[in-house]
């Protein structure tokens, strides 16, 4: 039984029928030795009482943003920072929507907006509410913001319907809490990781450009994983609509030329991972003014080849110890990757199939093959976050083979 002694959890209880399970969760946390602070939303007070939770936790239960005594004892900002982990259980559709939109109208939401600690949510709602596009959108937003989820489970609901929406059981929430509070190895502490991500934009004229469908999701996930392992993480990114991962040093660029210059300026580095979908060509001569329709033949576009950033950095005298390329292919995936490994001079190619039916472009999952001189390793279909974590742990081990990477 993993002890949580010395750890402190802030539990935010939302207003749903599953709120009664908060009692059991508090009891389980207490048996593990965790310190617990509790916030109840107004709606939660309809289901459980501050008194019952205070008796179980042995701590004061907070309910109001405007409580003079609470603010004197511990301001709400401090409440949001004092914990090692914030847990929202149950996370109702309403609370999830507020969190996804950064609302801060009461103590629970203000605390959630002010916290700089990891947040775990345990959603609970009617299955139609869970499946509603608005909730799906909000949950996606929270995942992108880096929040962790446990549940919901399938099962019989209080309303009599059957399906997903039941809050995870207290022991499942406890397992997720233990997992998140486990001290993580930081095998990349003191190491510098350079990552490129997203598409590049190559201007045609002041209002038009050539680009591609790259979402940047895999590269951003790799940047998050590098930060988790303790690396100084530089993310050189083309235009994407993703939030900047916390702890990452972001270097926004538009063109391949800009991406190359920034990468060169960041050397030396220990590891470089090039996930960017760099445009192979740029327009040879960008028009100074917007091109106009003339009624004659359309203007021809004369293209010039862009620098290959991966190949250039692989051959730089200050080459990072490990250079990783990605190969997005629509056919003969591993054959093309093996060729690329040779031509580009990198240590590892992560090959993936990006054919339209694969759903990789813009999607959240990926099936990759690791191609190196040692051979080909096929990884199962995983979320882009899992691919990122597994890849960074592998690279950390390659950098220091005698040191155990993330436990
Ligand atoms: O040749 P291809 O574009 O398929 O190679 C893919 C790999 O090379 C990726 O890692 C990509 O980031 C990198 N690349 C690059 N600069 C280019 C083209 C590709 O860094 N101009």
Q: What is the 3-state secondary structure (H, E, C) of the chain?
A: CCCCCCCEEEEEECCCHHHHHHHHHHHHHHHCCCEEEEEECCCHHHCCCHHHHHHHHCCCEECCCCCHHHHHHCCHHHHHHHCCEEEEEEECHHHHHHHHCCCCCCHHHHHHHHCCCCEEEEECCCHHHHHCHHHHHHHHHHHHCCCEECCCEEEECCCCCEEEEECCCHHHHHHHHHHHHCCCCCCCCCCEEEEEECECCEEEECCEEECCCCCCHHHHHHHHHHHHCCCEEEEEECCCCCCCCCCEEEEECCCHHHHHHHHHHHCCCCEEEECCECCCEEECCCCCCCCCCCCCCCCCCCEEECCCHHHHHHCCCCCCCEEEEEEEECCCHHHHHHHHHHHHCCCEEEEEECCHHHCCCCCCEECEEEEECCEEEECCCEEHHHHHHHHHHHHHHHHCCCCCCCC
Which of 219, 278, 327 to mutate to test ligand 1, by most ligand atoms within 8 A of the CB atom?
278
* Mean pLDDT to the nearest integer, 127-145: 94
* Mean pLDDT to the nearest integer, 79-84: 88
* 303 vs 68, residue with greater confidence: 303
Q: What is the pLDDT of residue 164?
A: 87
Ligand 1 neighbours by CB, cut-off 6 Å: 196, 256, 274-276, 278, 306, 308-310, 325-327, 340
* Mean pLDDT to the nearest integer, 120-126: 96
Q: What is the pLDDT of residue 99?
A: 98
Which percentage of the chain shows pLDDT scores above 70?
95
Q: What is the pLDDT of residue 71?
A: 67
Q: What is the pLDDT of residue 359?
A: 65
Q: Does position 406 have pLDDT exceeding 50, yes or no?
A: no
Q: Does position 361 have pLDDT exceeding 70, yes or no?
A: no
Q: Does position 4 have pLDDT exceeding 90, yes or no?
A: yes
Q: What is the pLDDT of residue 82?
A: 87
0.75 exceeded by the pTM? no
Question: Which of 173-187, 225-239, 360-374, 382-396 has the lowest average pLDDT?
Answer: 360-374
Q: What is the pLDDT of residue 191?
A: 97
Q: Does position 148 have pLDDT exceeding 60, yes or no?
A: yes
* 359 vs 90, residue with greater confidence: 90
CA 300–ligand 1 middle distance (angstroms)? 26
Q: What is the pLDDT of residue 405?
A: 45
Q: What is the mean pLDDT of the chain?
A: 91
Residues recognised as catalytic: 159
What ligand 1 atom has the least distance to the C-alpha of 328?
4
* Mean pLDDT to the nearest integer, 194-212: 97
Per-residue confidence at 77, pLDDT binned at 50, 70, 90? confident
Which of 282, 325, 337, 340 to mutate to test ligand 1, by most ligand atoms within 8 A of the CB atom?
325
């Amino acid at each position: 039984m993993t002890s949580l002694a010395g750890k402190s959890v802030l539990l935010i209880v939302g207003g749903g029928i599953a709120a009664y399970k908060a009692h059991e969760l508090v009891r389980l946390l207490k048996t593990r030795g965790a310190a617990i602070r509790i916030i109840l939303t107004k709606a939660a007070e309809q289901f459980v009482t501050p008194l019952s939770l205070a008796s179980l936790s042995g701590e004061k239960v907070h309910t109001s943003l405007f409580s003079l005594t609470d603010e004197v004892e511990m301001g709400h900002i401090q409440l949001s920072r004092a914990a090692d982990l914030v847990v929202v259980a149950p996370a109702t559709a309403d609370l999830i929507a507020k969190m996804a939109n950064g609302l801060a109208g009461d103590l629970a939401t203000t605390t959630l907006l002010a916290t700089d600690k990891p947040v775990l949510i345990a959603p609970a709602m009617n299955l139609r509410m869970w499946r509603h596009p608005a909730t799906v959108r909000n949950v996606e937003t929270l995942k992108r913001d880096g929040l962790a989820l446990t549940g919901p489970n399938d099962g019989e609901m209080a309303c009599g319907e059957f399906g997903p929406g039941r809050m995870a059981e207290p022991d499942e929430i406890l397992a997720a809490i233990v997992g998140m509070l486990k001290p993580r190895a930081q095998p990349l502490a003191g190491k510098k990781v350079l990552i490129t991500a997203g598409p590049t934009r190559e201007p045609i004229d002041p209002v038009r450009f050539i680009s591609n469908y790259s979402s940047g999701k895999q590269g951003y996930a790799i940047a998050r994983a590098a930060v988790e392992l303790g690396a100084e993480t530089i993310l050189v990114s083309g235009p994407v609509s993703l939030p900047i991962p916390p702890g990452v040093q972001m270097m926004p660029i538009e063109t391949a030329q800009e991406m190359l210059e920034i990468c060169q300026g960041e050397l030396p580095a220990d590891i470089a991972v090039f996930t960017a979908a760099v445009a192979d060509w740029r327009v040879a001569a960008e028009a100074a003014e917007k091109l106009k329709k003339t009624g004659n033949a359309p203007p021809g576009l004369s293209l010039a080849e862009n620098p290959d950033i991966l190949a250039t950095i692989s051959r730089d005298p200050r080459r990072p110890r490990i250079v990783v390329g990605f190969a997005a292919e629509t056919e003969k995936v591993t054959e093309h990757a093996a060729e690329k490994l040779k031509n580009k001079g990198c240590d590892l190619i992560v090959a993936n199939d990006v054919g339209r039916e694969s759903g990789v472009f813009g999607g959240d999952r990926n099936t990759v093959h690791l191609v190196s001189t040692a051979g080909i390793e096929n990884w199962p279909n995983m979320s882009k976050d899992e691919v990122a974590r597994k890849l960074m742990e592998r690279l950390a081990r390659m950098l220091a083979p005698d040191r155990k990477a993330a436990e």
